[in-house]
Structure 1
Protein backbone atom coordinates (compact mmCIF):
# COMPACT_ATOMS: atom_id res chain seq x y z
CA UNK A 1 0.00 0.00 0.00
CA UNK A 2 1.56 3.26 -1.14
CA UNK A 3 0.73 6.94 -0.80
CA UNK A 4 2.45 9.82 -2.58
CA UNK A 5 2.52 13.06 -0.64
CA UNK A 6 4.93 15.95 0.00
CA UNK A 7 5.01 18.00 3.21
CA UNK A 8 6.84 21.21 4.06
CA UNK A 9 5.37 21.26 7.58
CA UNK A 10 6.84 18.44 9.62
CA UNK A 11 4.33 18.76 12.46
CA UNK A 12 1.48 18.21 9.99
CA UNK A 13 3.28 15.19 8.54
CA UNK A 14 3.76 13.70 12.01
CA UNK A 15 0.09 14.24 12.86
CA UNK A 16 -1.02 12.70 9.57
CA UNK A 17 1.09 9.58 10.14
CA UNK A 18 -0.07 9.30 13.76
CA UNK A 19 -3.72 9.50 12.67
CA UNK A 20 -3.13 6.76 10.08
CA UNK A 21 -1.56 4.54 12.75
CA UNK A 22 -4.70 4.92 14.84
CA UNK A 23 -6.67 3.71 11.80
CA UNK A 24 -4.51 0.58 11.46
CA UNK A 25 -2.37 1.93 8.61
CA UNK A 26 1.25 1.59 9.71
CA UNK A 27 4.26 3.24 8.07
CA UNK A 28 6.82 0.77 6.74
CA UNK A 29 9.11 2.96 4.68
CA UNK A 30 9.50 6.55 3.53
CA UNK A 31 10.66 7.18 -0.03
CA UNK A 32 11.58 10.47 -1.69
CA UNK A 33 8.07 11.16 -2.97
CA UNK A 34 5.84 8.96 -0.88
CA UNK A 35 5.22 6.36 1.77
CA UNK A 36 4.82 2.60 1.94
CA UNK A 37 2.25 1.36 4.47
CA UNK A 38 0.90 -1.96 5.68
CA UNK A 39 -2.35 -2.87 7.35
CA UNK A 40 -2.04 -3.54 11.08
CA UNK A 41 -4.04 -3.36 14.27
CA UNK A 42 -5.17 0.18 15.15
CA UNK A 43 -2.77 1.66 17.67
CA UNK A 44 -2.79 4.91 19.63
CA UNK A 45 0.86 5.60 18.78
CA UNK A 46 2.72 8.85 18.20
CA UNK A 47 4.92 9.24 15.11
CA UNK A 48 7.77 11.74 15.15
CA UNK A 49 10.42 12.47 12.54
CA UNK A 50 13.88 13.92 12.17
CA UNK A 51 16.06 14.74 9.17
CA UNK A 52 19.69 13.74 9.51
CA UNK A 53 22.38 11.91 7.54
CA UNK A 54 25.48 10.18 8.87
CA UNK A 55 28.98 9.57 7.54
CA UNK A 56 29.55 6.42 9.56
CA UNK A 57 27.25 3.48 10.24
CA UNK A 58 28.33 3.47 13.88
CA UNK A 59 27.12 7.06 14.30
CA UNK A 60 23.77 6.08 12.84
CA UNK A 61 23.44 3.13 15.21
CA UNK A 62 24.33 5.34 18.20
CA UNK A 63 21.70 7.83 17.03
CA UNK A 64 19.02 5.13 16.85
CA UNK A 65 20.03 3.70 20.23
CA UNK A 66 19.79 7.12 21.85
CA UNK A 67 16.14 7.47 20.84
CA UNK A 68 15.26 3.86 21.57
CA UNK A 69 16.62 4.25 25.10
CA UNK A 70 14.05 7.02 25.51
CA UNK A 71 11.20 4.78 24.36
CA UNK A 72 11.14 5.56 20.61
CA UNK A 73 11.24 2.79 18.01
CA UNK A 74 13.03 3.67 14.76
CA UNK A 75 10.62 2.57 12.00
CA UNK A 76 12.05 4.08 8.81
CA UNK A 77 15.26 5.69 7.60
CA UNK A 78 18.83 4.75 6.73
CA UNK A 79 22.26 6.22 7.25
CA UNK A 80 22.00 8.21 4.02
CA UNK A 81 18.26 8.69 3.56
CA UNK A 82 18.00 11.78 5.76
CA UNK A 83 14.39 11.12 6.75
CA UNK A 84 14.20 9.30 10.09
CA UNK A 85 10.86 8.18 11.55
CA UNK A 86 10.16 7.08 15.10
CA UNK A 87 7.16 5.53 16.84
CA UNK A 88 6.40 5.90 20.53
CA UNK A 89 7.00 2.30 21.57
CA UNK A 90 7.15 2.84 25.35
CA UNK A 91 4.21 4.42 27.17
CA UNK A 92 6.66 5.74 29.75
CA UNK A 93 8.80 7.46 27.13
CA UNK A 94 8.79 11.16 26.37
CA UNK A 95 6.07 12.50 24.04
CA UNK A 96 8.73 14.50 22.20
CA UNK A 97 11.94 13.28 20.60
CA UNK A 98 13.62 16.69 21.01
CA UNK A 99 14.65 18.25 24.27
CA UNK A 100 14.54 21.87 23.08
CA UNK A 101 13.16 24.14 20.35
CA UNK A 102 16.55 24.54 18.64
CA UNK A 103 16.89 20.78 18.10
CA UNK A 104 13.34 20.64 16.73
CA UNK A 105 13.82 23.67 14.47
CA UNK A 106 17.14 22.55 12.94
CA UNK A 107 15.26 19.86 10.97
CA UNK A 108 13.75 22.62 8.85
CA UNK A 109 17.18 24.15 8.25
CA UNK A 110 18.62 20.83 7.04
CA UNK A 111 15.66 20.21 4.73
CA UNK A 112 15.80 23.78 3.41
CA UNK A 113 19.49 23.32 2.55
CA UNK A 114 18.65 20.04 0.79
CA UNK A 115 15.94 21.60 -1.41
CA UNK A 116 18.19 24.60 -2.19
CA UNK A 117 20.95 22.19 -3.29
CA UNK A 118 18.51 20.29 -5.52
CA UNK A 119 17.39 23.59 -7.08
CA UNK A 120 21.02 24.44 -7.88
CA UNK A 121 21.63 21.00 -9.42
CA UNK A 122 18.54 21.21 -11.65
CA UNK A 123 19.41 24.80 -12.62
CA UNK A 124 22.93 23.75 -13.67
CA UNK A 125 21.53 20.86 -15.75
CA UNK A 126 18.97 23.18 -17.35
CA UNK A 127 21.53 25.82 -18.33
CA UNK A 128 23.87 23.11 -19.65
CA UNK A 129 21.09 21.81 -21.91
CA UNK A 130 20.30 25.34 -23.08
CA UNK A 131 23.96 26.01 -23.82
CA UNK A 132 24.25 22.78 -25.82
CA UNK A 133 21.06 23.80 -27.67
CA UNK A 134 19.29 20.64 -26.50
CA UNK A 135 16.66 23.01 -25.09
CA UNK A 136 15.53 26.16 -26.88
CA UNK A 137 14.04 28.61 -24.33
CA UNK A 138 12.61 30.64 -27.22
CA UNK A 139 9.99 27.90 -27.68
CA UNK A 140 8.20 29.25 -24.61
CA UNK A 141 7.29 32.36 -26.62
CA UNK A 142 7.31 30.75 -30.07
CA UNK A 143 5.85 27.20 -29.97
CA UNK A 144 6.58 26.81 -33.70
CA UNK A 145 10.18 26.07 -32.69
CA UNK A 146 8.97 22.77 -31.21
CA UNK A 147 8.20 21.50 -34.73
CA UNK A 148 11.17 20.08 -36.63
CA UNK A 149 9.56 19.21 -39.99
CA UNK A 150 11.46 21.21 -42.66
CA UNK A 151 9.28 23.82 -44.33
CA UNK A 152 6.22 22.85 -42.30
CA UNK A 153 4.88 26.39 -42.03
CA UNK A 154 5.20 26.95 -45.79
CA UNK A 155 3.07 23.93 -46.61
CA UNK A 156 -0.59 24.36 -47.48
CA UNK A 157 -3.79 22.36 -47.47
CA UNK A 158 -3.73 18.63 -46.90
CA UNK A 159 0.08 18.45 -46.91
CA UNK A 160 0.26 20.95 -44.03
CA UNK A 161 -2.38 19.30 -41.89
CA UNK A 162 -0.96 15.82 -42.44
CA UNK A 163 2.53 16.92 -41.36
CA UNK A 164 1.21 19.17 -38.56
CA UNK A 165 -0.99 16.51 -36.98
CA UNK A 166 1.74 13.88 -37.32
CA UNK A 167 4.36 15.96 -35.49
CA UNK A 168 2.15 17.66 -32.89
CA UNK A 169 2.39 14.79 -30.32
CA UNK A 170 6.20 14.93 -30.58
CA UNK A 171 6.15 18.73 -30.26
CA UNK A 172 3.96 18.53 -27.16
CA UNK A 173 6.32 15.96 -25.66
CA UNK A 174 9.32 18.21 -26.35
CA UNK A 175 7.52 21.15 -24.79
CA UNK A 176 6.71 19.21 -21.64
CA UNK A 177 10.29 17.97 -21.37
CA UNK A 178 11.68 21.47 -21.81
CA UNK A 179 9.29 22.85 -19.20
CA UNK A 180 10.25 20.13 -16.72
CA UNK A 181 13.47 21.78 -15.57
CA UNK A 182 12.21 25.34 -14.97
CA UNK A 183 9.14 23.96 -13.17
CA UNK A 184 11.30 21.74 -10.94
CA UNK A 185 13.73 24.57 -10.19
CA UNK A 186 10.87 26.86 -9.16
CA UNK A 187 9.22 24.11 -7.08
CA UNK A 188 12.41 23.19 -5.22
CA UNK A 189 13.23 26.85 -4.55
CA UNK A 190 9.72 27.32 -3.19
CA UNK A 191 10.14 24.36 -0.83
CA UNK A 192 13.54 25.64 0.31
CA UNK A 193 12.12 29.10 0.99
CA UNK A 194 9.08 27.73 2.84
CA UNK A 195 11.19 25.44 5.03
CA UNK A 196 13.68 28.21 5.81
CA UNK A 197 10.79 30.50 6.75
CA UNK A 198 9.40 27.86 9.09
CA UNK A 199 12.84 27.42 10.64
CA UNK A 200 13.09 31.15 11.30
CA UNK A 201 9.60 31.31 12.78
CA UNK A 202 10.27 28.40 15.09
CA UNK A 203 13.57 29.93 16.21
CA UNK A 204 11.71 33.15 16.99
CA UNK A 205 9.24 31.22 19.13
CA UNK A 206 6.22 31.12 16.83
CA UNK A 207 5.31 27.43 17.08
CA UNK A 208 2.13 27.82 14.99
CA UNK A 209 3.71 26.75 11.70
Structure 2
Protein backbone atom coordinates (compact mmCIF):
# COMPACT_ATOMS: atom_id res chain seq x y z
CA UNK A 1 0.00 0.00 0.00
CA UNK A 2 1.16 3.52 -0.79
CA UNK A 3 0.12 6.70 0.96
CA UNK A 4 1.02 10.36 0.44
CA UNK A 5 1.68 12.47 3.51
CA UNK A 6 3.68 15.60 4.24
CA UNK A 7 5.45 16.17 7.57
CA UNK A 8 7.92 18.76 8.83
CA UNK A 9 7.83 17.45 12.40
CA UNK A 10 9.49 14.13 13.22
CA UNK A 11 7.39 13.49 16.32
CA UNK A 12 4.13 13.84 14.38
CA UNK A 13 5.46 11.58 11.65
CA UNK A 14 6.48 8.95 14.21
CA UNK A 15 3.03 9.08 15.80
CA UNK A 16 1.36 8.58 12.42
CA UNK A 17 3.62 5.63 11.54
CA UNK A 18 2.87 3.98 14.88
CA UNK A 19 -0.85 4.44 14.23
CA UNK A 20 -0.41 2.82 10.81
CA UNK A 21 1.32 -0.14 12.51
CA UNK A 22 -1.71 -0.51 14.78
CA UNK A 23 -3.80 -0.80 11.62
CA UNK A 24 -1.46 -3.48 10.23
CA UNK A 25 0.82 -1.44 7.97
CA UNK A 26 4.56 -1.08 8.43
CA UNK A 27 6.70 1.39 6.48
CA UNK A 28 9.23 -0.14 4.07
CA UNK A 29 10.07 2.86 1.90
CA UNK A 30 9.64 6.61 1.63
CA UNK A 31 10.36 8.90 -1.31
CA UNK A 32 11.60 12.26 -0.06
CA UNK A 33 10.79 14.08 -3.31
CA UNK A 34 7.19 12.88 -3.59
CA UNK A 35 6.55 12.26 0.14
CA UNK A 36 5.08 8.92 -0.85
CA UNK A 37 5.18 6.21 1.81
CA UNK A 38 5.12 2.53 0.94
CA UNK A 39 3.85 -0.01 3.48
CA UNK A 40 3.75 -3.77 3.82
CA UNK A 41 0.92 -5.61 5.54
CA UNK A 42 1.71 -6.96 9.01
CA UNK A 43 -0.18 -8.19 12.02
CA UNK A 44 -1.48 -5.09 13.83
CA UNK A 45 0.95 -4.19 16.60
CA UNK A 46 1.76 -1.51 19.17
CA UNK A 47 5.17 -0.67 17.78
CA UNK A 48 7.62 2.08 18.63
CA UNK A 49 8.97 3.64 15.44
CA UNK A 50 11.56 6.38 15.60
CA UNK A 51 13.15 8.55 12.92
CA UNK A 52 16.68 9.83 12.52
CA UNK A 53 18.02 12.05 9.75
CA UNK A 54 21.51 11.28 8.48
CA UNK A 55 23.26 11.00 5.13
CA UNK A 56 26.49 9.12 4.54
CA UNK A 57 29.23 9.42 1.94
CA UNK A 58 30.68 5.97 2.54
CA UNK A 59 28.78 2.69 2.65
CA UNK A 60 31.03 1.43 5.43
CA UNK A 61 29.98 4.35 7.66
CA UNK A 62 26.33 3.67 6.89
CA UNK A 63 26.66 -0.02 7.72
CA UNK A 64 28.39 0.81 11.01
CA UNK A 65 25.57 3.24 11.80
CA UNK A 66 22.91 0.57 11.19
CA UNK A 67 24.87 -2.00 13.19
CA UNK A 68 25.01 0.36 16.16
CA UNK A 69 21.21 0.60 16.19
CA UNK A 70 20.75 -3.14 15.65
CA UNK A 71 23.03 -3.87 18.59
CA UNK A 72 20.89 -1.50 20.68
CA UNK A 73 17.69 -3.38 19.82
CA UNK A 74 16.38 -1.35 16.86
CA UNK A 75 15.41 -2.80 13.47
CA UNK A 76 16.03 -0.62 10.41
CA UNK A 77 12.78 -0.40 8.44
CA UNK A 78 13.47 2.12 5.70
CA UNK A 79 16.12 4.51 4.45
CA UNK A 80 19.27 4.43 2.33
CA UNK A 81 22.79 5.81 2.53
CA UNK A 82 21.74 9.02 0.78
CA UNK A 83 18.04 9.28 1.70
CA UNK A 84 18.59 11.17 4.94
CA UNK A 85 15.46 9.80 6.59
CA UNK A 86 16.15 6.61 8.56
CA UNK A 87 13.30 4.65 10.14
CA UNK A 88 13.78 2.27 13.07
CA UNK A 89 11.48 0.00 15.06
CA UNK A 90 12.16 -1.15 18.61
CA UNK A 91 12.53 -4.94 18.75
CA UNK A 92 14.25 -5.34 22.13
CA UNK A 93 11.54 -4.89 24.76
CA UNK A 94 14.15 -4.41 27.48
CA UNK A 95 15.80 -1.49 25.71
CA UNK A 96 15.10 2.25 25.71
CA UNK A 97 11.96 3.59 24.02
CA UNK A 98 13.99 6.23 22.21
CA UNK A 99 16.95 6.08 19.83
CA UNK A 100 18.44 9.27 21.27
CA UNK A 101 20.29 9.49 24.54
CA UNK A 102 19.58 13.18 25.18
CA UNK A 103 17.54 16.14 23.92
CA UNK A 104 20.49 17.76 22.17
CA UNK A 105 21.16 14.73 19.95
CA UNK A 106 17.44 14.38 19.27
CA UNK A 107 17.25 18.02 18.18
CA UNK A 108 20.31 17.50 15.98
CA UNK A 109 18.27 15.71 13.34
CA UNK A 110 16.34 18.93 12.70
CA UNK A 111 19.63 20.80 12.30
CA UNK A 112 20.86 18.26 9.77
CA UNK A 113 17.58 18.44 7.84
CA UNK A 114 17.72 22.25 7.80
CA UNK A 115 21.34 22.26 6.61
CA UNK A 116 20.54 19.77 3.84
CA UNK A 117 17.58 21.86 2.65
CA UNK A 118 19.67 25.03 2.54
CA UNK A 119 22.37 23.19 0.56
CA UNK A 120 19.79 22.02 -1.98
CA UNK A 121 18.40 25.55 -2.27
CA UNK A 122 21.85 26.97 -2.95
CA UNK A 123 22.16 24.41 -5.74
CA UNK A 124 18.70 24.78 -7.31
CA UNK A 125 18.26 28.57 -7.26
CA UNK A 126 21.22 29.30 -9.60
CA UNK A 127 20.11 26.55 -11.97
CA UNK A 128 16.58 27.96 -12.08
CA UNK A 129 17.96 31.47 -12.71
CA UNK A 130 20.14 30.18 -15.58
CA UNK A 131 17.22 28.34 -17.18
CA UNK A 132 15.15 31.53 -17.09
CA UNK A 133 18.01 33.76 -18.33
CA UNK A 134 18.69 31.45 -21.29
CA UNK A 135 14.95 31.17 -22.13
CA UNK A 136 15.04 27.40 -21.68
CA UNK A 137 11.96 27.72 -19.49
CA UNK A 138 9.31 30.42 -19.20
CA UNK A 139 8.13 30.79 -15.56
CA UNK A 140 4.77 32.26 -16.57
CA UNK A 141 4.10 29.65 -19.25
CA UNK A 142 1.93 27.73 -16.80
CA UNK A 143 -0.56 30.61 -17.08
CA UNK A 144 -0.41 30.46 -20.88
CA UNK A 145 0.14 26.84 -22.03
CA UNK A 146 0.44 27.97 -25.66
CA UNK A 147 3.78 29.47 -24.68
CA UNK A 148 5.13 25.96 -24.15
CA UNK A 149 4.85 25.30 -27.90
CA UNK A 150 7.82 26.66 -29.88
CA UNK A 151 6.79 25.74 -33.45
CA UNK A 152 6.61 29.02 -35.42
CA UNK A 153 3.08 29.90 -36.55
CA UNK A 154 1.59 26.77 -34.96
CA UNK A 155 -1.60 28.45 -33.80
CA UNK A 156 -2.22 30.04 -37.20
CA UNK A 157 -2.22 26.66 -38.94
CA UNK A 158 -5.32 24.60 -39.55
CA UNK A 159 -6.50 21.16 -40.58
CA UNK A 160 -4.04 18.28 -40.87
CA UNK A 161 -1.04 20.61 -40.91
CA UNK A 162 -1.97 21.93 -37.45
CA UNK A 163 -2.79 18.47 -36.10
CA UNK A 164 0.55 16.96 -37.19
CA UNK A 165 2.59 19.86 -35.81
CA UNK A 166 0.57 19.96 -32.59
CA UNK A 167 0.90 16.22 -31.92
CA UNK A 168 4.61 16.27 -32.76
CA UNK A 169 5.46 19.05 -30.32
CA UNK A 170 3.04 18.19 -27.49
CA UNK A 171 5.46 15.73 -25.76
CA UNK A 172 8.15 18.43 -25.75
CA UNK A 173 5.66 21.03 -24.49
CA UNK A 174 4.58 18.70 -21.67
CA UNK A 175 8.21 18.19 -20.71
CA UNK A 176 8.78 21.97 -20.63
CA UNK A 177 5.65 22.36 -18.53
CA UNK A 178 6.91 19.67 -16.19
CA UNK A 179 10.18 21.58 -15.71
CA UNK A 180 8.35 24.87 -15.24
CA UNK A 181 6.31 23.34 -12.42
CA UNK A 182 8.85 20.93 -10.92
CA UNK A 183 11.74 23.24 -10.15
CA UNK A 184 9.74 26.01 -8.40
CA UNK A 185 7.75 23.43 -6.43
CA UNK A 186 10.99 21.72 -5.37
CA UNK A 187 12.52 25.05 -4.36
CA UNK A 188 9.46 25.91 -2.26
CA UNK A 189 9.54 22.46 -0.66
CA UNK A 190 13.18 22.80 0.37
CA UNK A 191 12.53 26.34 1.62
CA UNK A 192 9.66 25.12 3.80
CA UNK A 193 11.76 22.25 5.16
CA UNK A 194 14.65 24.61 5.94
CA UNK A 195 12.44 27.07 7.82
CA UNK A 196 10.38 24.44 9.66
CA UNK A 197 13.37 22.28 10.59
CA UNK A 198 15.32 25.29 11.84
CA UNK A 199 12.32 26.36 13.93
CA UNK A 200 11.90 22.87 15.43
CA UNK A 201 15.61 22.72 16.21
CA UNK A 202 15.50 26.04 18.08
CA UNK A 203 12.37 25.02 20.02
CA UNK A 204 13.94 21.70 21.01
CA UNK A 205 17.14 23.35 22.20
CA UNK A 206 15.20 26.01 24.13
CA UNK A 207 13.16 23.33 25.92
CA UNK A 208 16.39 21.54 26.79
CA UNK A 209 18.05 24.71 28.15
CA UNK A 210 15.05 25.65 30.24
TM-score, length-scaled by structure 2? 0.78
Distance 1:42 1:116, change over 3 A: same
> Is 1:94 the equivalent of 2:99?
no
Q: Show the counterpart of 1:194.
A: 196
Displacement after TM superposition at 1:202 (Å): 0.8
Of 138-147 and 79-88, deviating more is 138-147
Choose which of 175, 183, 186 in structure 2 pairs with 1:184: 186
Matched pairs, number: 201
In 2, Cα distance between equivalents of 1:142 and 1:27:
41
Q: Show the counterpart of 1:64.
A: 66
List runs of 5+ in structure 2 lacking aligned partners: none
Deviations 1:23-56 (A, max 9, x none): 1111122232322211111111100010112233
Deviations 1:117-160 (A, max 9, x none): 2222221221111122112356589888556565689x7xx97x
Alignment of 1:21-36 (within 5 A): 21-32=21-32, 33-36=35-38
In 1, Cα distance between equivalents of 2:140 and 2:31:
36
Distance 1:175 1:10, change over 3 A: same
In 2, Cα distance between equivalents of 1:53 and 1:142:
40
Q: Show the counterpart of 1:15.
A: 15
Choose which of 114, 119, 122 in structure 2 pairs with 1:120: 122
Distance 1:142 1:29, change over 3 A: closer
In 1, Cα distance between equivalents of 2:148 and 2:4:
32
Distance 1:99 1:130, change over 3 A: same
- Aligned residue for 2:207, secondary structure, equals coil
In 1, Cα distance between equivalents of 2:120 and 2:43:
38
Deviations 1:59-116 (A, max 9, x none): 2232222222222112222223222111010111101110111110110111112222
Aligned-residue Cα RMSD (Å) equals 3.1
TM-score, length-scaled by structure 1? 0.79
In 2, Cα distance between equivalents of 1:81 and 1:5:
17
